[in-house]
Amino acid sequence: MPLLRSQKLAPKPLDPPPPPSAPPIDPSTPARSDASTISPSLSPASSVALGLGFDSSGGAAPPPLRRSLRLASAPNSTPARPLAMDSARGKRKARSRLSSFPAEEKGGEMGENGVGPKPRVWKGGAMEGRIMNLRSGGRIVRRRMEMNGAEVGHGVENEDRMVLEASRNRELAVEIGRGTQQDKKAEEGKGPSIEEKETVEFVAEEDEEDLQNGDRSVKRQKLGRSKAVEVLRGEADESKVTKLDSNVAIPELEKGGNEEIDSKILVVPNSNHNIEDLPVRSSNSMEDTNKESVVRYMTLRSGSRIADRSTKVDHVNLDEVHKDGTQVHAKRRYSCEEKGKGRLILDDEHLEIYSGKETVVQQFNGGVINSEPNDSGGAGVPGKGKISAEEKGKEKMVIEEDWAAIDGIMGNSQMRAGSVRLREPETVKGLIEYRREAERIKAIELAPKFAFFKSEEDNQNDEEDSDELEPEAGPQDWPGPFSTAVKIIEEREARLRARESNSSSKTEKSTNLRISWAPSKETISDHFVRPAPSLKDLSLKVLLDNAEEIESLEGVPDMLKHWLILMLCRSRKMNSHLLAHILSGSPTEIYVSDCSWIAEDEFEGIFGKCDTTNLKAVQLDLCGRCLPDYILRATLSRSPCSLPSLTMMKLTASSIKTIGENCPGLSAIDLRNLNRLNDSVLGHLANGCRLIQKLNIRRNAFRFPPIFHIIIANDQAIAAFLEASGGSLTELSLNNVEKVGHHTALAISRRCSNHLQCLDLSFCRKMTDEALGLIVDSCLSLRILKIFGCTQITNVFLDGHSNPLVKIIGLNGQILDHINIPEFL
């Protein structure tokens, strides 16, 4: 009889401070009295289960109301108790507050209802209610409802139902447990099913199985595991129910101390097998033992689960979980493993959240457990973020967000951030209650939302692996603005949907965000009219069409010539003939944007005839074909003046040498995509071009983030180059020159300190904080420093450099802020 349980529960500290109002939060209180009231409270239990606010106590079963409610809802079966218990457990789990579900209850009760130990008697309905809220806000609520419904139908085992409900809640918590629980809970029936649906099942199963996992499941629920819900519904395994009971017991234990734990513990190891375990657990003092029990519980579950699911319960380091902090962690791990990759984490989160404390729900990213003893918020955050990302991809995160919302102030914020901070259990209790209430409400709101997630969940599950494999970005990468934005949007949608469904006003647009904008009445016809094309363009176009007819370009100003060349090259009409025309008459600048059509001899011929006395700028893009070494030597050697800008591809070492020898005034050289650049090349450049101002060693044909390899050049060569001729360097780009290191840094700081304005050291992984600091501090003209992809740079450099003008780009992931920074060259 549930009574038993509840009675046990009652003594349990589970009940947080008088649950606020009858509403869902109540469960805690009812839970207490659930024992006795369980049976009668079935009905209330059902309501409680809903957690939507129904009085936990609906009936007699006060604190365990939730749980008991379930029972009640269950088809009046006596076992209702177990159900209630389960649910309670579930709730409890989440609640963690309830945490101290007397394991004993479970153990004992389980037996009685026939379902199995239903120790779950949640601390009172509160648990359940709470769980509901906790878990997923919406989920739980829904679940409960479902469960209740299911339960009602279930004549068989009320417990199961309850379990389901509880499990739902637990799902969140349980989810974690599921992983492990699987095997445990005798959810045989569920087991398989559960396994399929990693996330959902887990939850659902959890409920059934591990009402205890309630906490866990709760968490998961939060994640919007619709699956869990589904599972729950579908599976109303009776057996599970029983298990839950046992699980419930555990959470009870947890409650004592760590709310969190409780939540975690919620993972009800439903399985009957667990029962045995449970009792053990329950015996543990809730607080401390909660953890332990939880841990154990988890282990139990995991143990069993693992077997079933073959989840990766690798890191079920429950043992190591310290009571407070670790508990959470352990849970997490557990969940991770249990669920396979992602789910576990979810549970952890839930658990933690429930605990009312701000447990840092560290999301494991597939098992990355931040077992920090004190889940001080910080830790959780990254973890969470990860988990969220991994587990559910966006969805999870959203869910968690929801949870956060649900919890409101409850430390659920963690969920959001993914970090659950653990708080002292003492205060948690009251807080928990409050939270539960809030959660419940939120859950209600979100319930419909979760309904939609099912498919997503499924997909999510499938992609769990991929999610988990997502690179765990460094601390700076969490949570990226994009994922946050996605979360927010999803949340918004969910809320909208929830609202709509709640209000049952089915309008087509319900799910669409309403964008309020109406076109202005006045007709502005002018807007539609394009500005007339300029005469220049028009004539240019005609000229192009008749390019063959051009006889001479005498008198055409250079700018127009450039334009013409550009258009010609674009339209593929360029030929040497035209080029000859263009180059005739002592041009001062030659910009040929595409020299790929020029053959070597043509080039030689053309440039041979070209009067280069006034030539100031030569830009020959894409001239790989026409500029082998000798050509370059021949042509350029005749140009007396400096070539201010030289952009080439595929230059070899000797050609560079030639340039170096012949262009003493070279002030800008852009050696992009030079695969064969090596030390001697740089040496020649350095010798010859002392006045170089812009050095761009990168590979790119589009003038955009270049990823250039200097294959052979090493640190010393570049340093030597800079030493020799870097005095007037204003822009230096060593993007992706991997070997750049300390020597270069020293050279830069010594030689380039006067004029250097833009420095690009992206992807130079050998640059350390010290090196960068030295550079920045000694180059007083430095305005822009780009260090994309330099993950080795830390705050030591960022905070420590003393150059006020420098703008550092590329470290914090907010690249969009810097998009308008002009690329040099």
- Residue ranges that bind other proteins, judged by CB under 8 A: 525, 528-532, 534-536, 538-540, 542-543, 545-546, 549-550, 553, 555-557, 559-560
In the complex, least distance from residue 544 CB atom to other proteins, rounded to whole angstroms? 9
Q: Tell me the closest approach of the beta carbon of residue 560 to other proteins, in angstroms.
A: 6
CA distance 496 to 446: 9
- Tell the residue number behind the tokens 């006034």, with chain if given: 614
Task: Return the number of the residue (502 or 575) whose C-beta is nearest other proteins.
Answer: 575
Residue 544 has a CB neighbour count (10 Å cut-off) of 15
Name the one residue in this structure whose structure tokens are 């909208």: 496
CB of residue 523 to other proteins, shortest distance in Å: 12
Residue 581 corresponds to which amino acid?
A: H
Give the whole-angstrom CA distance, residue 681 versus residue 273.
Answer: 75
Nearest by Cα to 144 from 172, 117, 118, 114:
172
DSSP 8-class letter at 390: I
Residue type present at position 762: S
Rounded (10°) angle between helices 226-235 and 425-462: 90
Tokens, residue 55:
């009085």
Distance between CA atoms of residues 649 and 670, nearest Å: 9
From residue 193, give the alpha-carbon distance in Å to each of 178, 199, 233, 312, 327.
Answer: 11, 11, 12, 17, 28
353's tokens: 């959240």
Beta-sheet strands, E only, within 707-762:
731-733, 758-760
d(CA 51, CA 82): 17
Helix or strand or coil: residue 650? coil
Give helix 272-283 / helix 238-257 axis angle, nearest 10°: 20
Minimum distance from residue 576 beta carbon to other proteins (Å) = 20
Least distance to other proteins, CB of residue 536, Å: 4
CB 299 within 8 A of CB 331: no
Q: Which is nearer to other proteins, 153 or 533 (CB)?
A: 533
Beta carbons of 685 and 669 less than 8 angstroms apart: yes
- The alpha carbon of 126 is separated from its chain's Cα centroid by a whole number of angstroms, namely 33
Cross-strand pairs, 758: 731, 784
Counting beta carbons within 10 angstroms of the beta carbon of residue 140, is it exposed (0 to 12), middle (13 to 18) or buried (19 or more)?
A: buried
Distance CA 442, CA 2 (A): 28
Count Cβ neighbours within 10 Å for each residue of 638-673 and write b for 16 or more, e otherwise. Answer: ebeebbbbbbbbebbbbbbbbbbebbebbbbbbbbb
Task: Give the shortest CB-532-to-other proteins separation in angstroms.
Answer: 4
DSSP 8-state secondary structure symbol assigned to residue 284: S
Q: Give 488-493 contacts, CB < 8 A, sequence gap 24+.
A: 488/401, 490/394, 490/395, 490/398, 491/398, 491/401, 491/402, 491/405, 493/449
Cα four-point dihedral sign 149, 155, 157, 158: positive
CB nearer to other proteins: give 520 or 525. 525
**CB-based burial of residue 482 (10 Å sphere; 0-12 exposed, 13-18 middle, 19+ buried)?**
exposed
C-alpha count within 13 angstroms, C-beta hemisphere, residue 738: 4
Tell me the closest approach of the beta carbon of residue 573 to other proteins, in angstroms.
14
In the complex, what is the shortest distance from the CB of residue 559 to other proteins, in angstroms, rounded to a whole number? 7
Strand-pair category, 694-696 with 731-733: parallel
The CA radius of gyration of the chain, in Å to the nearest whole number, is 35
**At 25, phi and psi to the nearest 5?**
-60, -30
Alpha-carbon distance of 406 to 439, in angstroms, equals 4
Residues 6+ apart with CB under 8 A from 521: none
Q: Which is nearer to other proteins, 455 or 539 (CB)?
A: 539
Alpha-carbon distance 682 to 698, whole Å?
A: 14
Q: Which residues is 589 bridged to in the sheet?
A: 617
The answer to whether 668 touches 825, Cβ cutoff 8 Å, is yes
Element (H, E) at 669: strand 668-670
User: Smallest distance, Å, CB 615 to other proteins?
Assistant: 22
Least distance from other proteins to the Cβ atom of residue 695, Å:
34
Q: Give the nearer residue to other proteins in terms of CB position, either 537 or 770.
A: 537
